[in-house]
Amino acid sequence: MESATDTALTFRDATDADVDALVALIESAYRGDSSRVGWTTEADLLRGQRTDPEGVREVVKSPDSRLLTVEREGRIVACCQLEHRGAYAYFGMFAVSPALQGAGLGRTIIAEAERRARETWGVDEMHMTVISLREDLIAWYERRGYRRTGKMTPFPYGDERFGIPQRADLQFELLVKELTGPSQRDVPVTR
């Protein structure tokens, strides 16, 4: 069986032409029944949208941000946001096609995102926020070197651009990783 990392990946910055495909990818990874194919679903915590074209376009156009788009065989299979925030980079909007989750693709993408943040902006930390109830997802990030900080920020209740909460106890926890250590293993990547 061929794994998701056996075929070379192409990493590039998203353009306006990618917005609709990226919104569909992000929605499929987190919301609705299609997200249940993978393990990153938030369908039991949130209904409604995860993002929208305006939100994705904003990231694409921001001078301090990039939406790293990942293709395999000419098809968008994943993405992540990298945003330069002074001494650190913020990692967000991470989505892998549900059908490809669990095969190592996410691990490859996060390693490449960390490498690019170090090389492009010279940052020594990557920050991200994760819904604190997502213990399985947080554990996955911890295996990649991220640490829980215990610093919480409230979920934006009432702002349906981020979804319709199905629980009253949602909040985000800040996870941090030092990027000054040795580089991750090399992966087949075309640039």
Is 111 strand, coil or helix?
helix
**Helix ranges, the chain (H):** 19-30, 53-61, 105-121, 135-143
Q: Which of 59, 19, 27 is nearest to 46 (CA)?
A: 27
Residue with token string 């070379």: 8
Give yes or no for residue 185 having a pLDDT over 50: no
Give yes or no for residue 49 having a pLDDT over 80: no
Residue with token string 């213990």: 135
pLDDT digit string (tens) for 73-107?
Answer: 999 999 999 999 999 999 999 999 988 888 889 99
Give yes or no for residue 184 having a pLDDT over 50: no
pTM above 0.85, yes or no: no
pLDDT digit string (tens) for 59-74?
Answer: 999 999 999 999 999 9
Rounded Cα distance, 179 and 78, in Å:
22
pLDDT digit string (tens) for 117-171?
Answer: 999 999 999 999 998 988 989 999 999 999 999 999 998 888 777 776 677 888 9
